Amino acid sequence: MPLSKCNCEGCELKGLFFSELTNDEIEAVCTWKDERSYKKGEYILREGDPIKEFCYTKSGLVKLVRSVSDQEEQIIYFASSLDFISLLGIFSNDTYPYSVVAIEDTVVCSLRISEVKTFIRTNGNFAFSVIQKLNRVSDNIITTNLEIKRRRLPGRIAYILLYFANDIYKHTTFELPVSRKEIADFIGMTTENVIRTLSEFRRDGIIKISGKTIEIVDMDKLLKIKQFG
């Protein structure tokens, strides 16, 4: 996995993450930047690994997972492009409390955490920018988990289908990037009941399923289930 040539100036993240840095500073960043590609299924970070880098996704889709017992894991969050994947405890822990796995081909940009920490201490605007972004991601994770928690099975399934349709793919037809089991691990239900609910939605004409492809046919009904189910 080779280092890429420095092309931060053209990176779509510049405006997001580096808006507070001067071009000279960005030059400096490039000397310790590392851009890597991961295939679907590959581990990007492993639970328990020492935190050495500050990572974010340039493109692709990843899941944050933690194992809660042998054979059992809990999915914390799905992070899409331009999200941070180093966040939970990155500045307060020494090791990652979760793993990050690519669920689609993903490009990750990593900065050495020590250098990021130095930048935070010396560049207040950069620090503020980091706080804002970390804050937004944590907020998202917390809110998403609360929204899931207050719903029952059909509502949870509706929620996640609409999440992929509206937030990730911005289309009513999309390829489910996750297995039924992964949905189950995310919403805290069993695989069988995830499948059953999807089948019911299909029988009721709310969605069409063919393998991993989902088409939302009756958006209104799905929204109502999300609201009241």
| Partner whose footprint covers residue 141, from a second copy, DNA, none (CB < 5 to 8 Å by kind) | a second copy
Question: Exposed/middle/buried for 183, CB within 10 Å: 0-12, 13-18, 19+?
Answer: buried
Question: How do 61-69 and 72-80 pair as beta strands?
Answer: antiparallel
Provide, rounded to whole angstroms, the least separation between the CB of residue 159 and DNA. Answer: 12
State which residue, 21 or 101, has the beta carbon closest to DNA.
101
Cβ neighbours for 168, distance < 8 A, ≥ 6 positions apart: 61, 78, 80, 174, 177
In the shown chain, the binding pattern of residues 130 to 169 toward DNA, with x for contact by CB under 7 A and - for none, equals ----------------------xxx---------------
In the shown chain, the binding pattern of residues 135 to 154 toward a second copy, with x for contact by CB under 8 A and - for none, equals xx-xx-xxx-xx--xx----
Provide, rounded to whole angstroms, the least separation between the CB of residue 45 and DNA. Answer: 20
123 is a site residue for a second copy (CB under 8 A): yes
| Whether 201 contacts 157, CB under 8 Å | yes
131 is a site residue for a second copy (CB under 8 A): yes
179 is a site residue for DNA (CB under 7 A): yes
Q: Can you say whether the dihedral through the CA atoms of 95, 93, 67, 140 is positive or negative?
A: negative
| Partner whose footprint covers residue 191, from a second copy, DNA, none (CB < 5 to 8 Å by kind) | DNA
Q: Closest by alpha carbon to 34, among 76, 86, 80, 72?
A: 86
- What is the rounded distance in angstroms from the CA atom of residue 229 to the CA atom of residue 227? 6
Per CB under 8 A, the list member of 10, 15, 92, 170 interacting with a second copy is 92
Provide, rounded to whole angstroms, the least separation between the CB of residue 73 and DNA. Answer: 12
Question: How do 43-45 and 207-210 pair as beta strands?
Answer: unpaired
